[in-house]
């Protein structure tokens, strides 16, 4: 157990063995950063359950966070400090001391339990890589930039850590990964989350394909109508004798309710 300056993060989670940039402007966060810089540059970074809380207490924070090391800080305009950190190890927040100036926590390192049997690790490694390949098919940028590097990893634990940090998960998913107590639980969470992302990506692609088909059809119909209008104009047939205009005139004279006329007019206009 150790006492360490604490920064409460809004809308993000820092995972072990990952590098993150974030901005801080709250006075207590700046004071915690300054305290870390004059000792060993270590901070405990823990996410807020709700980003709307301006001055969080322990009940507003998750129980699991990451002991991290400050790698760089840049002072920005408006009293903002941009910080680069490297996540070192997951830890439990046992107690939070809230003073007028900063947050300080009693934290206890909580490394992942190594509960995977050796003979299963190779099979699990292959499953993760298969799911990564499927995910990359729906995310071409990630496939080009990150997939080759990830596919070269031969250690299961290292691969799980890199998947956690390289894929742009929502912060709630990152927190779920951080809270996994064992390698087996982390593996199951990653596979489940990758499968969800793959399914969502497939649904999104199907929807986009249907929208594109609909737009293409409308554009094609528009072009054909414009071409027909030009041909009629060249032949001197444009005017009140236009077939669609005649139908519209009939609709205007038709004794029917407005809804019926509107439907007929819409269908006729599609033919123009």
Q: How far apart are the first and last CA of the chain?
A: 78
Tens digit of each residue's pLDDT (9 = 90 or more) over 45-70: 999 999 999 999 999 999 999 999 99
Q: Is the pLDDT of residue 253 over 60?
A: yes
Cβ atoms 97, 4 nearer than 8 A: no
Q: What is the pLDDT of residue 110?
A: 94
- Average pLDDT for 241-246: 62
Mean pLDDT in residue range 37-49: 95
Tell me: pLDDT of 5 over 90: yes
Confidence (pLDDT) at 208:
75
Where would I find the H helices in the chain?
A: 27-37, 118-137, 140-145, 147-151, 156-166, 171-178, 183-234, 243-253, 258-271
166-176 tens-digit pLDDT: 898 999 999 99
pLDDT of residue 237: 59
Evaluate whether 49 touches 172 at the Cβ level (below 8 Å): no
Model pTM above 0.75:
no
**Within 10 Å of residue 70's Cβ, how many Cβ atoms?**
16
Sequence-distant (≥ 6) Cβ neighbours of residue 230 within 8 angstroms: none
């Amino acid at each position: 157990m150790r006492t360490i300056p604490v920064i409460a993060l809004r809308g993000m989670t820092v995972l072990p063995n990952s590098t993150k940039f974030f901005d801080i402007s709250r006075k207590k966060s700046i004071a915690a950063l300054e305290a870390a810089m004059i000792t060993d540059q270590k901070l405990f970074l823990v996410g807020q359950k709700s980003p709307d809380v301006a001055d969080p207490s322990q009940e507003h924070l998750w129980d699991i966070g990451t002991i991290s090391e400050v790698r760089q800080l840049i002072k920005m305009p408006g009293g903002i400090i941009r910080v680069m950190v490297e996540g070192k190890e997951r830890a439990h927040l046992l107690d939070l001391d809230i003073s007028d100036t900063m947050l300080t926590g009693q934290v206890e390192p909580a490394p992942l339990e190594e509960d995977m049997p050796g003979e299963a690790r190779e099979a699990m490694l292959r499953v993760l890589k298969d799911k990564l390949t499927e995910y990359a098919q729906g995310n071409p940028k990630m496939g080009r930039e990150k997939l080759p590097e990830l596919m070269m990893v031969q250690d299961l634990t290292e691969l799980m850590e890199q998947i956690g940090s390289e894929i742009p998960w929502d912060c709630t998913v990152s927190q779920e990964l951080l809270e996994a107590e064992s390698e087996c639980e982390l593996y199951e969470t990653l596979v489940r989350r990758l499968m969800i992302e793959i399914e969502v990506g497939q649904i999104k692609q199907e929807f986009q394909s249907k929208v594109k088909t609909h737009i293409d059809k409308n554009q094609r119909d528009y072009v054909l109508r414009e071409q027909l209008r030009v041909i009629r104009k060249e032949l001197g047939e444009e005017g009140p004798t236009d077939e669609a205009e005649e139908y519209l005139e009939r609709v205007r004279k038709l004794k029917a309710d407005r809804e019926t006329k509107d439907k007929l007019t819409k269908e006729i206009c599609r033919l123009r």
